[in-house]
Amino acid sequence: MTVEHLTLLSPFIAVGAASLAVMLAATLWKTRLPALSLTVAGLAAALAATGSLVGHAPAAVTPLLLINGYSLYFMGLVLACSLGVALLSIGYFARREQGPAEFCLFLLLSTLGAMIIASSSHFASLFLGFELQGAALYPLVAYARSVPASIEAGIKYLVPSTVASAFLVFGMALVYADTGAMDFGAVAALGRGPGISLLMTVGLLMILSGAAFKLALVPFHLWTPDVYQGAPAPATAFVATVSKVAVIALLMRFFAPFSVRGSGAVTAALWALAIASMFAGNLLALRQENVKRLIAYSSIAHMGYVLVAFLCGTGLGVVAATYYVTAYAITVLCALAVVSLLSHGTESDALADYRGLAFKRPLVTLFFTIALMSLAGIPFTVGFIGKFYVLSASVQGRVWPLTLSLAVSSAIGLFYYLRVVTVLFRQPASANPKDPKPGVVTGIGRPLSAAGLVVLGTAGVLLVCCGVYPGLLFDFIAWIVAS
Amino acid sequence: MMLALLICIPLLGGLLAWAAGRVHARAPHVVSLAALALDLCLAIRVWARGNAQSGAWLAQAQWPWIPRMGISVNLALDGLGLLLVLLTLFLGVMSIVIPSSEPRDRRGFFHFNLMWAISATVAVFMALDLFLFYTAWELMLVPMYFLIAGWGGENRVRAAVKFFVFTQASSLFLLIAIVALYFIHGASTGIYTFDYTTLLHTALSHRAGAWLMLGFFLAFAVKLGVFPLHGWLPDAYAEAPLAGSILLAGVMAKTGAYGLIRFCLPLFPHASSSFSLAAMILGAAAIVYGALMALGQTDLKRLIAYTSVSHMGFVVLGIYVWGQLSLQGVVLQMISHGITVAALFMIAAALEKRTGSRDIAQYGGLWYSAPRLGGFTVVFALALMGLPGLGTFVGEVLILLDTFRLSISLAVIPIAGTVFAVVYALWMVQRIFMGEALPRPHIADCKGRELAALGIMAVLIVWLGLYPGPFLDTSAPSVTAIRQSALDARPAGKGSMERLARLMQ
C-alpha cells in the first residue's frame, strides 16, 4: 500500500470517513443539520477526489479494485446521483418527524458499496460491494417506519435481494470451480476458449441473474413497483439511479468478453432479458395510476434499452450504453426530485395529485415535463440523444430484432409519458370540498426546499444542455472508454 | 443568417408571448402576430430577391453541431422550400389574426406552442442535414400535442394522444432508416455524415434500399394522412383548436409531401421506382376514399378532414408519377389546398362559435343571416371540387396530365373522385346555407378581421387559379433539379412505372 494507492482510494476513503463522522455526529447532536451537512460534504469531497483522478494511468489497487477511466466515470456518476439524493433528503426530512441521521449513514454506506461494484475486478470485491450496497439499501427503503407501505417495500426488497445474492455467490463458485480463477481478467481469458463448459455457462447465467435482479430486468422485476412506491421519495431516487448505474458498470465490464463472442447461452439470455424488459416495462406502465410505480416500470424498459446498446458489441455500443445510463440517471433524478419536492408530509405520488400542477407550480412542471419528454425521447433532451446513440449502435451492430423492439416498445411508452404530461396541464379539479380528489397541491403556497430545487434545476439544465449540445459529453465518454 | 432568423424569430416570439401573458391577456396575441408578420416580411424579401446563388438554392448556411457524428446545422432554401415557408407563415398569421382563434384561458402558453410549432415547421422546410431534419420533424409534434390536448374540443386528449403516437411511432422508423443510411454510406465511402447532398448518391443494395425507403415513406405518409395510415387524422383535425387545425391540415400535412419529394425519392430512386405503382394506387384510392367518407360525415370539421385525405391523395399520386408537370402540380396543389382548407376551418370555427355546434344538421338556411359567410363558403367549396379559375384546378390538372401520359386507367380513378368532390362540396353548402332556416336567433355575419382574412385568402386562391406563373417559376428550378437527380440515378425502363407505361401502349 503506497501513497499512490491511497490517492487512488481517496474517493472511497472520503465516503467511508463521512459515514463514520455521521455516526459520531448522530450520537453527539440531536439536530438534523450536522448529519446532512456531513453527508453532503463527504459526497462532494469524494466527487472532487474522483474528478481529480481522471486522466490518471489505470492502476490495480490490490487485486480487488481496478481504477481506470471507466470505473472513475461510473464512480463519479454514482457519487453525483447520491449527492443529488442527499440534497433531496434535506427538504424531504425537514417536514417529517423522523430524523435523517440514519438515512444519511445508510445512504453513504450504500454509495460506498455501489462504488466498489463499479470498480471491482475480483469476485471477492464484487460480492463485498454487492452486499454492502444491498444491505444498506433495505433500511433506506423501509425508512418511513410509521408507513406500512414502506415496511412492506423493505421486506419485498430484502427477500428477493438475498436470493439474488445467493445466486450471485453460487454462480461465482461454479465459475471458480471451472476456471480456478476469481479475477475478472483471468475468468475472461479462460472463458474465451473455443467452447466453454456447461459449469461455466451455468455459473455465468447465475451471476447474470444476480445482476438482472438489481437492474430489475424482466423476469426479475417483480419487486420493483412496490419498492419504488413504498420507499420514501429520496430512497426511490437512490434505487432508481445509484444501484442501477453501478450494476450496469459491472455488467459492461464483466460480461463484455462473453457477450461479444462465444457463449451462446449468455448472449441469448441477455437478448431475452433486453427484449422482455423493453416490452414488459412499457406495457405494464400503461395502466399505472401512481407516478412512482410508473417510473418503476419505465426504468425497467430503460434498462432494456441500455442492454440493446451493450449487446451491439461495437465500440459505439459501449459508448452509447454509457451515455444512455448517464442520460437515464439525470432524467430519473430530475423526475423523482419533483416527486420528492412535492411530498409534503405524505408522499404525493398518485397521478391524480398532479392534476393541474402547471397552474400551481409552473417552474416545477416545466422541469417535470422536460424530464418526461426526455424519458420519452423527444429531441433537445438528453434522453433523445441517448436513444439516438443506442439506435445508431444497434443499426451499426445489425441487431435488427433489438432495433425493432426498441422502436416499437418506445412507441408504446409514449402513451404513459403523455398521460402524465396531459394530467399536469389539465385544468385543476374544482375546489369543491366534497370532491374526493382535490388535486394536489398538497402544501401549495409553502416554499419548496431550496436544496431540492438546486437538484431539480441542475438536473433539468444538464438534461437540456446535453440534449442541445451533446458533443461534449459524448467526446468525454468516448475518450474515457478509449483510455 | 437570414435562414436562422426565419427560424429564430418565431422561437423568440413564442417565449416572449408566454412571458407577455403575465402582463396582459391580449399581449401574447400582439407579440406573436408581430413576430409572424416580421417573419413573413423576411420570407417575402427572400422571394422578391429571388435569384439563385448556387444551383437551385436561394440561400444556404451551415454551422457545426456534433462534428464527431458528422452532424451540422445545415440550412438551405430553394424555391420549393421557400413557397412552403411562405405558406406556413401566411397561414400562421391568418390563424391567429381572426378573433375566434383566440383561446379563453392560458393564452401565453397557447401562443408559445403555436409559435414553436410554426418555427419547427419552417425548420423542416430548410433542414439539409438529416439529423437536424429529424429533430425539427419531431419538435413539430410536441407543441401541436399541447395545442390539441390543451385547447381542443370534447375528445381532445384522445385525439392528441392518437396524433402523437401515430406520428412519433412512424418517425422512429424514419430515425432508424436515417441512421442505417448514415452507416451504409459511411461503410462504403468512409465519410460518416448526415449531410443530404453527400448522402444523395449512396450506393444501396436492392434490399437495403427497399427497407430504408419504406422507413422514410412510413413517416411521411402518416403525416400526410395517406389512405391506410390516416387513422389519427380526422380526430386530430376535428378536435384541434382552430389555429391547430389550420397548422395541421394547411402546413404539417405538407411536410409529409415535402419529405417525399426532397428525401424519399431522391435518396432511394431505385426502390421508389419499384414502389411507385403501389404508392400511386394508394394515392388514387385515397382520392376516392376521402371523398366517399366526406360524403358520410355529419361533423363539419371531420368532413373537411376527409376532403383533406382526398386532396392529399392527389399529392401522393403526383409525386410518384414524378413528371415535371405533375410535381409542379403537386406544389401548386399543396399551396392552394393549404389556403382552401385553412379558410374552410375558419368558416367552420365561425359557425361553431355562432351556433355552438359542429353538427351540420344543426345548421341550415344560414344564408339569410350570414350571406357574406355563405359567399366565402361557396368560393372555397368550389375550390375543393377544383373549379377552373381556382388554384386547386390548376394543381389537379397538372397532376392528371402527367398521370394520363403514364396510364389512362390510373388517371380515371381520380377523375371519378372529383365527381364525388362536386357532390360533397355542393351538398355541404346546400345543407349549411340553403333550405329552411331553423328557428334560431340571427347569427352575425363575418366582418372586420374575419372578413379581411377570408377576403385575402379568396383573392389568393383566385390568383393561384388565374395566374399561377410566379409560383410555378419559383418552384421550377428546384423541382427540375430534384427530379433530374433522381431520374439520373434510375436505370431506364426498369421501374414499374416504365413497365406500366409500356404495358399501356
The answer to whether residue A68 neighbours chain B at the CB level (below 8 Å) is no
At A33, is the pLDDT very low, low, confident or very high (cuts 50, 70, 90)? confident
ipTM value, please give it: 0.88
- Residues in chain B with pLDDT < 50? 504-505
Sign of CA dihedral B399, B404, B407, B413: positive
Chain B residue numbers with beta carbons less than 8 Å from the beta carbon of A475 are 68
Chain A residue numbers with beta carbons less than 8 Å from the beta carbon of B179 are 388, 391-392, 395
CA dist A195 and A361 (Å) reads: 60
Instruction: Identify whether residues A8 and A130 lie together within a single domain.
Output: yes
> How many angstroms away from the CA of A471 is the closest CA of chain B?
5
- Closest CB to A396: pick one of B67, B150, B183: B183
Chain B residue numbers with beta carbons less than 8 Å from the beta carbon of A414 are 164-165, 168-169
Instruction: Identify whether residues A125 and A273 lie together within a single domain.
Output: no
Least confident of A179-193, A266-280, B315-329: A179-193
Report chain A's C-alpha Rg in angstroms.
21
CA-wise closest residue to B123 among B162, B68, B74: B74
Instruction: Identify whether residues A233 and A294 lie together within a single domain.
Output: no
Chain B residue numbers with beta carbons less than 8 Å from the beta carbon of A403 are 176
Residue A196 lies in a domain: no
Counted across chains A and B, CB pairs separated by less than 8 A come out at 72
Average pLDDT in chain A: 88
Instruction: Identify whether residues A253 and A269 lie together within a single domain.
Output: no
pLDDT at A437 over 60: no
From A262, A287, A315, the end of a domain falls on A262
| Domain extent for A32 | 1-151+228-262
| Structural domain total, chain A | 2
Q: How many helices (H) and strands (E) does chain A have?
A: 19, 2
CA-wise closest residue to B215 among B261, B173, B268: B173
pLDDT of residue B55: 64
Instruction: Identify whether residues A251 and A277 lie together within a single domain.
Output: no
From A240, A262, A284, the end of a domain falls on A262
pLDDT at A190 over 80: no
For chain A, what percent of residues have pLDDT higher than 90? 58
Residue A55 lies in a domain: yes
pLDDT tens-digit series, residues A145-185? 888 889 999 999 999 899 999 999 999 999 999 888 899 88
CA dist A159 and A316 (Å) reads: 37
CA-wise closest residue to B400 among B333, B482, B467: B333
CA dist A290 and A350 (Å) reads: 4
Instruction: Identify whether residues A242 and A305 lie together within a single domain.
Output: no
Chain A residue numbers with beta carbons less than 8 Å from the beta carbon of B113 are none
Residue A161 lies in a domain: no
Report chain B's C-alpha Rg in angstroms.
22
Residue A185 lies in a domain: no
CA dist A276 and A94 (Å) reads: 41
CA dist A282 and A299 (Å) reads: 9
Q: Which residue from B minimizes the CA distance to A406?
A: B172
Q: Which grid coordinates are listed for A127?
A: 460480492
CB contact under 8 A, B176 and A407: yes
Residue A44 lies in a domain: yes
Residue A306 lies in a domain: yes
CA dist B179 and B131 (Å) reads: 9
- At a CB cut-off of 8 Å and minimum separation 6, what does B135 contact? A379, A380, B127
Contact B127, B118 (CB under 8 A): no
Instruction: Identify whether residues A243 and A323 lie together within a single domain.
Output: no
Instruction: Identify whether residues A13 and A109 lie together within a single domain.
Output: yes
**Which uninterrupted H or E stretch holds B76?**
strand B71-78
Place of cell 349549411: B432
Instruction: Identify whether residues A252 and A371 lie together within a single domain.
Output: no
The answer to whether residue B192 neighbours chain A at the CB level (below 8 Å) is no
- Closest CB to A471: pick one of B68, B135, B157: B68
DSSP H helices, B140-252, are 141-151, 156-189, 196-199, 206-224, 233-239, 242-245
Residue A183 lies in a domain: no
Residue type (1 letter), A106: F
Contact A480, A69 (CB under 8 A): yes
The answer to whether residue A479 neighbours chain B at the CB level (below 8 Å) is no
pLDDT tens-digit series, residues B400-448? 999 988 888 888 888 888 889 999 999 999 988 888 777 777 788 878 8
CB contact under 8 A, A395 and B179: yes
DSSP H helices, A261-361, are 264-285, 291-311, 315-342, 357-360
Instruction: Identify whether residues A245 and A374 lie together within a single domain.
Output: no
- Closest CB to A422: pick one of B68, B149, B165: B149
pLDDT of residue A440: 47
| Strand intervals (E) in A16-174 | 59-61, 65-67
Instruction: Identify whether residues A307 and A404 lie together within a single domain.
Output: yes
Query: What residues of chain A, 321 to 380, have a C-beta less than 8 Å from chain B?
Result: 359, 373, 378-380
CB contact under 8 A, A418 and B145: yes
Chain A residue numbers with beta carbons less than 8 Å from the beta carbon of B21 are none
Q: Which residues share a beta bridge with B64?
A: B72
CA-wise closest residue to B157 among A420, A81, A268: A420
CB contact under 8 A, A471 and B66: yes
Provide the 3-class DSSP secondary structure of residue A122. Answer: strand
The answer to whether residue A425 neighbours chain B at the CB level (below 8 Å) is yes
Query: What residues of chain B, 129 to 148, have a C-beta less than 8 Å from chain A?
Result: 131, 134-135, 138-139, 141-142, 145-146
The beta-carbon contacts of A72-77 under 8 Å, at least 24 apart in sequence, are A72/A119, A72/A480, A73/A322, A73/A477, A73/A480, A74/A118, A74/A119, A74/A245, A74/A246, A74/A248, A74/A249, A75/A11, A75/A50, A75/A115, A75/A118, A75/A119, A76/A47, A76/A50, A76/A51, A77/A245, A77/A325, A77/A326, A77/A329
A80-92: b or e for each residue (b if 16 or more CB lie within 10 Å)? bbbbbbbbbbbbb
pLDDT of residue B132: 95
The answer to whether residue A482 neighbours chain B at the CB level (below 8 Å) is no
Provide the 3-class DSSP secondary structure of residue A67. Answer: strand
CB contact under 8 A, B66 and A474: yes
For chain B, what percent of residues have pLDDT higher than 70? 96
Most B-contacting residue of A388, A412, A472 (CB-CB within 10 A), to test interface: A388
Residue A171 lies in a domain: no
From A262, A286, A305, the end of a domain falls on A262
Strand A65-67 and strand A59-61: the pairing is antiparallel
- Cβ burial of B52 (10 Å; 0-12, 13-18, 19+) is middle
pLDDT at A6 over 60: yes
The answer to whether residue A475 neighbours chain B at the CB level (below 8 Å) is yes
Mind giving me the DSSP string for A261-289? SS-HHHHHHHHHHHHHHHHHHHHHHTT--
CB contact under 8 A, A395 and B183: yes
